[in-house]
Amino acid sequence: MSTESGGSRRVHRFRVDATLPAMRDLGRIFGEFAGADPRLDPKSEALEELRLVVREAATNIVEHGKVPSPEGGLGVELSCDGEELVVRLESAGIPFDPRHAPLEPPDPEELAEGGYGIYLIRTLTDGIEYYTHEGGNVLVLRKRIGSSSRKAS
C-alpha cells in the first residue's frame, strides 16, 4: 500500500485479493480513505454512492472477470482533489467495458438478487473510462463530490 499527497490531490494505491471476502476489505479501505481526508464527509450521499459502485464493479470483476491469479489480483487506486474522487480498478482477465453494456434498469420482479451492478455503475458515477493496459483491464470511475460531500466546518 502507498499513500501520497501532491498539491491538493491525495492518492492511495493498494492491491486486494480478487475474491468475494476481500471485497469487505475494499469497502473498509475506501471508508478509511474518505474518513482521513478533512475535505470529505464520509457519510455524504455522493461518497455512499461511490462506495456502492466500487463494490459492485469490483465484485463483477471477481465474479465474471476470470482473474487468473486471485491473490493480489485487483489493483486499486483512490485519489481525491477535493472536487472529484477517482477510483481506478486494474485486473487481468476477461476484458469488459461497462460503457457498452445495456443501460436498461433491471426488473426487480424478475431478479431475486444481482443484475443491478452495471446499471448502478453507469448511473451513479459522473464519468467512466475503460481501457486495456499491459495485458490488463483498467476501469476508472469518477464522482464529483462537491459541497454536499464536504465536512461541515
Give the C-alpha separation, 96 to 64, whole Å. 9
Give yes or no for residue 94 having a pLDDT over 60.
yes
DSSP E strands in the chain: the ranges are 2-6, 9-16, 74-80, 84-91, 127-133, 136-144
Does the pLDDT of residue 119 top 80, yes or no? yes
pLDDT at 111: 58
> What is the per-residue pLDDT across 40-73, written as a single tens digit (0 to 9) for each?
887 889 999 999 999 999 999 999 898 888 899 9
Domain boundaries, the chain: 2-149
Closest to 135 in 3D by CA, of 92, 102, 96: 92
Please tell me what DSSP assigns to residue 104. Answer: P
CA distances from 133 to 17, 79, 83, 127, 142 (A): 20, 19, 27, 19, 19
Top pLDDT among 9 and 90 is at 90
What is the pLDDT confidence band of residue 35, given thresholds at 50, 70 and 90? confident
Specify the CATH class of 2-149 in words: alpha beta
- What is the structure's pLDDT at 41? 84
Average pLDDT score, the chain: 85
